[in-house]
Amino acid sequence: MISAVAELYDIHPQTLRMYEREGLLQPNRSEGNTRLYSTSDLERLEFILTLTRDLGVNLAGVEVILNMRENMSRLQEEVGSLMTYVRDELLKNENKLKGRFEQALVRIERGPLMVLERTTQITVRSSDEQTTGEVDKTSNL
Annotate 16-76 with DSSP letters as a single string.
HHHHHHTTS---EE-TT--EE--HHHHHHHHHHHIIIIIS---HHHHHHHHHHHHHHHHHH
Question: Do 66 and 53 have their domain in common?
Answer: no
Looking at the structure, tell me whether residues 53 and 63 fall in a common domain: no
> In this structure, are 74 and 48 located in the same domain?
no
Do residues 75 and 32 share a domain? no
pTM of the model: 0.60
Domains contained in the chain, number: 2
Mark whether 68 and 26 lie in a shared domain. Answer: no
Instruction: Provide the pLDDT for residue 107.
Output: 76
How confident is the model at residue 64, as a pLDDT?
Answer: 97
State the residue range of the domain holding 90.
59-115
**pLDDT, position 137:** 55
Q: Could you read off the pLDDT of 36-95 as tens digits, one per residue?
A: 999 999 999 999 999 999 999 999 999 999 999 999 999 999 999 999 999 999 999 998
Query: Same structural domain for residues 46 and 64?
Result: no
Residues 45 and 20 in one domain: yes
